[in-house]
Amino acid sequence: MPNPLKRILVPVDFNVPSRAALMLADDLAAALGASIDVLHVIDLPGGESLLTSEGHVPVPDGYRQAVEQQVAGRLKEWLATTSAPAGASSHVAEGQPAAEIAGYASNHQIDLIVMGTHGRAGIAHLFTGSVTENVVRIAHCPVVTVRA
């Protein structure tokens, strides 16, 4: 029977659970002969200002480009640690993280999402919500969650 898992998506936010998810995805890719897509979603405000403790301040010229360059550099470092036999690629999206992750998976024929979770509970979970939890709800494919 042919392997139904050919493409694995690993959304990363550069924290410890994301690293653990990438390591698991790399092991899975090696065992299955799958490729890995590593995705970072930049969650910037849509307008011309940023909300800070001082209120709204204008977005500096070149801010988005600087963020994108920094993210691209970090993704390159993270990809250097993978050994997926079918290859690995990095991608950057901008928007609401859960929606962007699920949309990317759907639009790119992803067979499995492997993502880290902080495992927050109680008040912390109530206030911060969970991108992972939302992806599990809306993704078209299976989602494996990894705690560091």
**Residues 108-136 pLDDT 10s:** 999 999 999 876 555 554 544 589 989 99
Quick one: which H or E segment has residue 23?
Answer: helix 16-32
Angstrom distance (rounded) from CA 67 to CA 61: 12
Residue range 77-114, pLDDT digits in tens: 999 988 887 889 999 999 899 999 999 999 999 999 99
Pairing of the two strands 49-52 and 55-58? antiparallel
If you count them, how many residues does the chain have?
A: 148
Report domain 7-147's class. alpha beta
For the chain, the structural domain boundaries read 7-147
Q: What six digits make up the tokens of 83?
A: 């050994």
